[in-house]
Amino acid sequence: MTDHSGAGSPGMGAPPTASGDTSAFRFEGTWQEFAPIAFTNLLLTIVTLGIYRFWATTRERQYLWSRSRFVDETLEWNGTGLELFIGFLLVLVLLVAPFFLLSQLAQAMVLRGQEQLGSLITLVSFVVFFYLAGVARFRALRYRLSRTRWRGIRGGSDDRGFRFGLSYMWKTIFGYLPLGLLIPWSMTSLWNERWSKMSFGPYGFEANADPVPVFKRFLLFYLMPFVFIIAGGAMAAAFMGMGSEAFDSPELAPGFIIAIFVGILGIYLALGLIAVAFYAAFYREAVGATRWGDVQFEFNASTMDWFKLILGDVALVALTLGVGYIFLSYRHWKFFIVHMDARGEILLDELTQSQTATAGHGEGLLDAFDVGAI
């Protein structure tokens, strides 16, 4: 970011990033500082049978935000555990309980011989869940922006997300209809729509992610299973051509078994790596096409950076017998901040408080779907 002062107004900026000196975003925390918070949260969550996890999430965010610096100021999290708890209770009362009752009603209809009515009730309930999943994604972002402070200002949106829920439904379905080929368009379009409804302080966000660069990586992921099928068919034909004697041979049989095992393992690893490559390309494009006023954001994590993050997560959880899970939120947030960057100009005297409405409770629906990660 560059310094700018127009009409005698003070400006604010950070040195260049790609070629040089510092990034507009910096993370100043350590896992040693985070450890007491993580272990205390774990203990209190166990003792309270999971109820404390809403306050645990708040403590984590307060620490992570306070150690994250954008240009010259750290972020601040102003949300509370009670907000998250109330949001979760609202979901239980208004969504989970009715869905459970509808599922029981559908089963009763089937047992009474009214299969069509039971199937219709089940279909309607899942369509409603599908719609609310989109609403949840929108409102969770809206809530988190409204509880994030930087230089005393906050973000948010006056849009309640109900129209985005409809967009989420039809764009997701439309993306899968032509054999899944429009998934990159669906993902980038939903990103653009959601972020373009958000603002922070006096400036709105603008997102114009292009699906074409993402589609190139997606096509690799899309075509790879067909390559594996052809290769697998060729191997099967070779084995059949060798006859059953090859499998009965004590010298050759172990080699065949090992080759099959290695081939299957290689397929899973290759698909996973290609999927990570696709998501890395999507995230770079999506973040890089997002603006806030005159500020252009960037995300410079490569496919290998994502792969190392995932392998590190798996190793941390496996080697600690699951206890390391409490550090994943720290690792993911640090990864996000470390690889974020921004370029542009901000005028200090134009930074006014957001006039958007603030939600009275947290992202309960998204949390209920278990996709409410930091």
- pLDDT of res. 241: 61
Give the position of tokens 């969770």. Answer: 140
Residue 56 tokens, joined = 């645990």
Distances (CA, A) of 262 to 104, 204, 220, 269, 271: 45, 51, 22, 10, 14
> Which of the two residues, 122 and 235, has the higher pLDDT score?
122
Distances (CA, A) of 88 to 38, 168, 313: 21, 22, 27
Mean pLDDT, rounded, for 17-37: 81
Q: What's the DSSP call for residue 344?
A: S
pLDDT in tens, 79-122: 999 988 988 888 888 788 888 888 888 888 888 888 888 889 88
In terms of DSSP bridges, do strands 199-200 and 203-207 run parallel, antiparallel, or are they unpaired?
antiparallel
Residue 347 tokens, joined = 């005028």
Q: Please tell me the distance from the alpha carbon of residue 109 to that of residue 111, in angstroms, as a whole number.
A: 5
- pLDDT of res. 112: 85
- Percent of the chain having pLDDT more than 70? 81
> Which of the two residues, 76 and 237, has the higher pLDDT score?
76
Q: Please tell me the distance from the alpha carbon of residue 359 to that of residue 90, in angstroms, as a whole number.
A: 13
Give the position of tokens 């999290």. Answer: 77
Q: Please tell me the distance from the alpha carbon of residue 181 to that of residue 353, in angstroms, as a whole number.
A: 42
- pLDDT of res. 220: 83
pTM for the full model? Answer: 0.83
In terms of DSSP bridges, do strands 199-200 and 153-156 run parallel, antiparallel, or are they unpaired?
antiparallel
- pLDDT of res. 20: 42
- In one letter, which amino acid is 36? P
Conformational region of residue 319, where left means phi above 0, alpha means psi within -120 to 50, and beta covers everything else: alpha
CB 29 within 8 A of CB 338: no
pLDDT in tens, 195-234: 999 999 999 999 999 999 899 889 888 887 777 777 666 6
Give the position of tokens 């009730």. Answer: 121
Q: What are residue 73's DSSP bridge partners?
A: 70
Q: What pLDDT band is residue 255 in, cutting at 50, 70 and 90?
A: low
CB 140 within 8 A of CB 374: no
- In one letter, which amino acid is 294? D
pLDDT in tens, 137-165: 998 899 999 999 999 999 999 998 999 99
Mean pLDDT, rounded, for 156-178: 93
The region of weakest confidence among 1-15, 111-125, 165-179, 280-294 is 1-15
With 90 as the cut, is the pLDDT of residue 64 above it? yes
With 90 as the cut, is the pLDDT of residue 16 above it? no
Q: What are residue 70's DSSP bridge partners?
A: 25, 73
The region of weakest confidence among 83-97, 181-195, 278-292 is 83-97
Mean pLDDT, rounded, for 67-76: 94
